[in-house]
Structure 1
Amino acid sequence: MDPLDVLRRADHRLVDLVTTLDTTDLDLPSPCSGWDVRSLLSHTVASIDAFAAAVDGGEGPTEQELFSGADILGADPLAVVRGSIERSQRAWSTITDWERPVTSVLGEMPAGQAVGIVTYSTLIHGWDLAVAINRAVEFDEAEATLAEQVGSALVPALRPQDLFGPAVPTDGGATPTQRVVAFAGRHPF
């Protein structure tokens, strides 16, 4: 599984969803408690920027800014999302050694782990955005596999900080996407 390929697909889906937004959609509630679409999308973009900064050495949000949900979209959310994704793609395309350490807002880690985390974040928050604007999202096999691998380590570590809710029970008929988002504390049904 090529980590950049999965990141590109997650980024592409996010841009596709944002192209459908109108200004009233930004005020809709999201599946993330207390956050509307604007704050959810601002956090998603801040996450993309934070991990791009870990690779390109440019400016990125602080941990406090990352989790504040403060508006960074301005009057043209699509341009902001596209700009952050373009920066991220440029930064990640320079990595040739996925074991190379990078320092992110979550600390130092191998580049492969960092790209997995930002991909996971984009997948989960893309799903959150889709739910908020009443669109359907299903992860493909590679996306679901990455999300299950990254989520199994990341989510339990961040639950004590209330960054993820408790896992939502699913049954044997749950799709891979439903299992991924339920583990992240979302109600997939």
Structure 2
Amino acid sequence: MKLPNRFITGLGILMISASPLLQAAPPDQRGDGPDDNRGGQQQGPQNNGGHNERGNDRGPGNDNGRGPDKSPSTQPGRQAHQDNRGGNRPPQDFGPVRETFQQHRDVIGRGQPLPPGVHIAKGRPLPPGYGKRLDSRSLQYLPHYDGYEWRRLGTDVVLIAVGSGIVYAILDGVLN
């Protein structure tokens, strides 16, 4: 059976346009899939005592020069943010992070303020040339989120996505 070219072309376009929709389908709602975390019996390794059994994903012997007795849990100011070291996304509530900035504002220092007429907004790119990176001495007290970095703008601090420069969060006046 010979099919007309138009029919074959239309079928190909339909398949190509439907494939992204299939991949974007919502997860299985029946509750018996592998990603169901609503309770019940879990399979696989259990998380004992809240410790991540994978470690910090740095591999053996890679302690970034801290040595064996200088883990993040023994450094001052790191206890509250230790769980953010494993590549987690930034939190929705930056209350504890604000407190950390205010406790260490003398070490972090203020940045150069934005000139009049230049405004930053969450979800928009940081204007080029604005926002000074924090030095390593300041970063030791702050949580680290993979793919994001802290920038200082006057008395404000912003968290931006490294690849795109999009502002994720603005902490107004934390360095006052």
Larger Rg: 2
TM-score with structure 1 length normalisation?
A: 0.25
Bigger helix fraction: 1
Bigger strand fraction: 2
Higher relative contact order, chain-length normalized (CA < 8 Å, sep 6+): 1
